[in-house]
């Protein structure tokens, strides 16, 4: 594993953590993201959460996203990147951030690179939660039952996993070439998974203020 020193001082430990968490639906990415964000005292920046919040509040952005998705289109890369750029300029992201759901493709990777480079920054690590497809399917089926989500059919779940696998592979390849990807076993107890993530980050010199 390549040791990567954080870019600048920022949180209580003297390490700024600029992170990306990646994993298929059902990998526990959302849960682990919250835990890592709390450990480092950094915001979890999820494009999905931002979109949903704006739609619920009826903001101009929410209306724009609703119109786009109702047409069956994807939110354009430039709009998505603009939203993330705006979020990352807020004060609570000065000491770092955890990205979830962005970047999703090569164009968005370039947008993020350009934004961070302009500030003399870069991603410190990419956390890849590794969960077998069968395990993800089983977890999503159970979630559908628990939450009464009739739209989460076997075919719909498989389709979303196909999209993830197709879109994520090129992104992981790019970051893998940079030596910043930590592949974490995403199975087992939540605390054990969190410990694996923190251990991998610690090996890079990225240590939460609470450690």
pLDDT tier for residue 14 given thresholds of 50, 70 and 90: very low
Q: Render pLDDT for 140-194 as a digit per residue (tens, 0 to 9).
A: 888 888 888 777 788 888 888 898 888 888 899 999 999 999 999 999 999 999 9
Q: Give yes or no for a contact between 32 and 130, defined as CB atoms under 8 angstroms apart.
A: no
pLDDT higher than threshold 50 for residue 4: no
Report the predicted TM-score, pTM, of the whole model to 2 decimal places.
0.85
* Whole-number pLDDT of residue 15: 60
Of 10-19, 31-40, 72-81, 116-125, which range is least confident?
10-19
The residues annotated with a catalytic role in the active site are 29, 104, 143, 149, 160
- Whole-angstrom Cα distance, residue 116 to residue 98? 14
Q: Which domains does the chain have, with CATH numbers?
A: 17-203 (3.40.50.300)
Are 18 and 88 in contact by the 8 Å Cβ rule? The answer is no
Say how far apart CA 99 and CA 125 lie, in whole Å.
Answer: 11
Per-residue pLDDT tens digits for 71-123: 878 889 999 999 999 899 999 999 899 999 899 889 999 999 999 999 999 99
């Amino acid at each position: 594993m390549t040791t990567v020193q954080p870019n600048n001082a920022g949180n209580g430990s003297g390490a700024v953590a600029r992170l990306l968490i990646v994993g298929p639906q059902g990998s526990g990415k959302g849960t682990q993201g919250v835990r890592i964000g709390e450990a480092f005292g950094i915001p979890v920046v999820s494009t999905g959460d931002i979109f949903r919040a704006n739609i619920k509040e009826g903001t101009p952005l929410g209306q724009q996203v609703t119109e786009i998705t109702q047409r069956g289109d994807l939110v354009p890369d430039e709009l998505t990147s603009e939203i993330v750029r705006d979020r990352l300029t807020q004060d609570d992201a000065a000491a770092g951030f955890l990205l979830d759901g962005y970047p999703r493709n090569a164009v968005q990777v370039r947008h993020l690179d350009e934004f961070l480079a302009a500030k003399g920054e870069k991603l410190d690590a990419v956390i890849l939660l590794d969960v077998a497809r069968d395990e993800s399917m089983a977890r999503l089926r159970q979630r559908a039952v628990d939450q009464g989500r009739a739209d989460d059919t076997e075919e719909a779940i498989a389709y979303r996993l196909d999209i993830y696998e197709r879109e994520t592979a090129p992104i992981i390849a790019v970051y893998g070439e940079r030596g910043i990807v930590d592949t974490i076993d995403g199975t087992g107890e939540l605390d054990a998974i969190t410990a694996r993530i923190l251990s991998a980050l610690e090996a890079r010199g990225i240590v939460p203020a609470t450690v």
